[in-house]
Copies of this chain bind each other. A is one copy, B any other.
Amino acid sequence: MNAVPSTLLQQTDQLSGSVTRPIPGSRKIHVEGSRPDLRVAMREIVQTRTPTLFGGEENPPITVYDPSGPYTDPDVTIDLAAGLAPLRARWIEERGDTEALSALTSAFGRGREHDLKLAHVRFPSRTLPRVAKAGANVTQMHYARRGIVTPEMEYVAIRENQRLELVRDALLRQQHPGEAFGAHIQQVITPEFVRDEIARGRAILPNNINHPESEPMIIGRNFLTKINANIGNSAVSSGIAEEVEKLVWSIRWGGDTVMDLSTGKHIHETREWIIRNSPVPIGTVPIYQALEKVDGRAEELTWEIFRDTLIEQAEQGVDYFTIHAGVLLRYVPLTAKRVTGIVSRGGSIMAKWCLAHHRESFLYEHFEDICEIMKAYDVAFSLGDGLRPGCIADANDAAQFGELETLGELTKIAWKHDIQTMIEGPGHVPMQLIKENMDKQLRECGEAPFYTLGPLTTDIAPGYDHITSAIGAAMIGWYGTAMLCYVTPKEHLGLPNREDVRDGIMAYKIAAHAADLAKGHPGAQVRDNALSKARFEFRWQDQFHLGLDPEKAEAFHDETLPKDAHKAAHFCSMCGPNFCSMKITQDVREYAAEHGVDTGDALAAGMAEKSEEFRAQGAEVYRPG
């Protein structure tokens, strides 16, 4: 093991302290599957009893989906320099179709490994990666198509159900019918359904065999809507410790996957620290690093450099690669009259390359060679939308939709190799044009999962683009997008800091949950119902704990009513004690009870009778006299 410089370790020690405090009101639980080493992590929110005034009943704990990993588990000791426990290692080894390498395959990776100048930033506990045995295909899609239900698939099935079977209270179970636009929403997710969806290509389970630390999760429109958080340093700002901090911070607030978009120095080492400490799938855009290797001169990129980069990253454990293989030569001129041209970094790099060489890109020409790499590690494709619109004016244009059609063709090639594939989408799109994006994606790409950035529904709010885009994200999630890539308030302006990351994730957790409610995912409304019941009964702490951000909710409440006594107050600062409508509603019920009508049926009956009397008397708006 390499020696780790004390400064970096101290930094990471500090970080782990600040982001691993327990989430207020919650406890970590694990639901065991068909084998003892299959323990699905969830979060349980404990509720207090209803005040006697309102009935005095017990309120059941509410189970919620939890991507925060071991960081919020008080039973786990976190050691960032050691990395997380490789919970999937045994499952991978058991399959017998992979082998440990004796050296890194990537020339660049080997070079970094032996560079003494990097000792101070290198992850200290690195083990050698695995690779598929000769001729083997180790993707979850390959297993699925052969009818195999892997432990990963079972994990996902248990995880998606969120122990809904334990919720028996009728009030909590009530839910409006959804409108799913043709999605196949299940009442109960079975491991077999997970397998079938992966086999069809309608869902992906991104989990590189070299990222055994990851807790399996699934991306597909027949499952809960997921969100991605982007982190990553740049040449201008931030370092390794800060990025690991952002990773842990992101998943604490609910990020389901994290993309490492680093472009600065130590990109390789930063990625290693992130993956070794990440319980969620990590995505990257390998062309960013490839471009660094040619000092930013896009036209000097080659297939060989790119190939070595893919292998370098696949052997580190990256779970999905954004690959902009759909940027074809003939689409580039279609962007010339756009208001904002090409705004995807990857897209513009490839466009520049195509123009410089007057030929299709090596990504397109070597697409099947890329598939061979993907299947040897089970890296999923995230087919990049390099020509996505960068402003409202450019939405749904010929360049964007041309590329989408090509992504559909590439999806079919990837599927021929049993490579898990999702498709990236826009961007900036006004509301009336959003559904066309979803419909076309489903049609062109055979229902492969859609993974969209926003879309932003207007261009005029720099500083608030988490909101302009949460509107579009909620809508496209409802229409069928499987994963929503977050946008922070700093979009277009600067690099997000911690609070920006939190704001971006919250906006996207809201969008994703609003989409789940609208699609009618079973049990999606349980948490809303529980929180609303708590609100109605003035159970302030339960209301905070059931919310997406308990810490902020409590802090906001305390700004106006800081005293502890007010946590039990039957009013809030909005209206004061005499004007609280919730309190008045309680008075209404009490009044009704005193006068011989009870809540519920009795009240309804009693009032219906009075109402009948009233109508029998004429029911006129203006009675004589």
Binds B, one of A17-25, A147-155, A200-208, A568-576: A568-576
Whether, in the assembled complex, A237 has its beta carbon less than 8 Å from a beta carbon of chain B, the answer is: yes
- Inter-subunit contact B462/A553 (CB<8 Å): yes
Whether, in the assembled complex, A367 has its beta carbon less than 8 Å from a beta carbon of chain B, the answer is: yes
Whether, in the assembled complex, A498 has its beta carbon less than 8 Å from a beta carbon of chain B, the answer is: no
What's the Cα separation between A548 and B461 when bound, in Å? Answer: 5
Q: Which of A531-575 contact B (CB under 8 A)?
A: 531-533, 535-536, 543-544, 546-549, 552-553, 555-557, 559-561, 572-575
Q: Which of A476-502 contact B (CB under 8 A)?
A: 478, 489-495, 497
Binds B, one of A72-80, A86-94, A121-129, A333-341: A333-341
Whether, in the assembled complex, A510 has its beta carbon less than 8 Å from a beta carbon of chain B, the answer is: yes
- Inter-subunit contact A610/B329 (CB<8 Å): yes
- Inter-subunit contact B348/A584 (CB<8 Å): yes
Residues of B within 8 A of A364 (CB): 621
If A391-B528, A431-B515, A470-B470 are given as contacts, then 19 extra A-B residue pairs at C-beta distance below 8 Å, sorted by A number, are A264-B576, A332-B588, A333-B604, A336-B599, A336-B607, A339-B529, A339-B533, A340-B533, A345-B580, A352-B584, A364-B621, A390-B532, A431-B478, A431-B517, A432-B519, A457-B474, A458-B510, A461-B548, A494-B557
What's the Cα separation between A334 and B553 when bound, in Å? Answer: 31
Residue of B whose beta carbon sits closest to that of A332 = B607
Whether, in the assembled complex, A49 has its beta carbon less than 8 Å from a beta carbon of chain B, the answer is: no
| Max chain B C-beta neighbours (<10 A), residue from A288, A367, A430, A560 | A430
Against B, the Cβ 8 Å flags (1 = close, 0 = not) of A404-448 are 000000000100000000000000101111000000000000000
Residues of B within 8 A of A178 (CB): 432
- Inter-subunit contact B432/A518 (CB<8 Å): yes
User: How many copies make up the complex?
Assistant: 2
How far apart are A266's CB and chain B's nearest CB, in angstroms? 14
What's the Cα separation between A21 and B560 when bound, in Å? Answer: 28
Residue of B whose beta carbon sits closest to that of A562 = B494
The answer, among B291, B390, B467, B475, for a CB contact under 8 Å with A507, is B467
Binds B, one of A110-118, A214-222, A355-363: A355-363
The answer, among B458, B491, B529, for a CB contact under 8 Å with A528, is B458
Q: Which of A577-619 contact B (CB under 8 A)?
A: 577-582, 584-589, 591-592, 595, 599-600, 603-608, 610-611, 614-615
- Inter-subunit contact B552/A463 (CB<8 Å): yes
- Inter-subunit contact A360/B431 (CB<8 Å): no
What's the Cα separation between A392 and B466 when bound, in Å? Answer: 23
Whether, in the assembled complex, A374 has its beta carbon less than 8 Å from a beta carbon of chain B, the answer is: no
